[in-house]
Amino acid sequence: MRLDRFICKSTALSRQEARAVIMQSRVVVNGSTDVHEAFQVHENNHITLDGKPLKPRPSRYLMLHKPAGFVSSNVDGRYPSLFKNIDIPDTDNLHIAGRLDRDTTGLVLITDDGRWSFEITSPDTHCEKTYRVTLRDSIREDAVQQLEQGMEIQGMKNRTRPAKVEILTPKEVLLTITEGKYHQVKRMFGATGNKVVALHRQKIGALNLDIKVGDWRYLTSEEVCLFQTNNQMELS
């Protein structure tokens, strides 16, 4: 975790105030003030502010059912931020573990635990994401084979990883992938000559979306552990 984020998570200071106390050499990490705002720290480091040890608050883990028309951002722009649906303090310290496009609906996981979200978003962890995909045209058998074998997509350096395809109706499928490149699902079906007309993420790993559109809830400790490695749990 960045040092400025660690301070925000351990005090009532804003990000700007945290950076100020670091610059003033009031923060000591393992006996040294030779640190900067982006300095990476961990829970087992000894960190003090004005001589007082800092201990971060417990991390927060949320599930949200994203409606269409909201952007996966902490900041409102042309379209509203999905964080407008979350009525808790300090949402600026939260981030999304796997963004969704503005027109895509479904399961979004939100946290202030960077290592936890890495387990979800890194292709190296092979965390599965399942989408309900509504198509313009009926899916062809050869398209299913392309998706399941991995395919080349214009603008992507490597082939996509093999996907899992479950046909619900001729124009509706469940697609499960273990990576999440820019507009990947839409681009995969586009490469087969089809078009995605609606996209909904309903599952991440073993976690299913179980709340109404626009609602959110905290994850249980058991659900949080679904995305924690043994190493993470030892450090938490």
Instruction: Tell me which residue has tokens 């003090």.
Output: 48
Task: Please say whether the beta carbons of 116 and 32 come within 8 A.
Answer: no
Give the active site residue among 76, 87, 101, 112: 101
101 has catalytic annotation: yes
Query: Would you call 10 exposed, middle or buried from its count of C-beta atoms within 10 A (0-12, 13-18, 19+)?
Result: middle
Residues marked as catalytic:
101
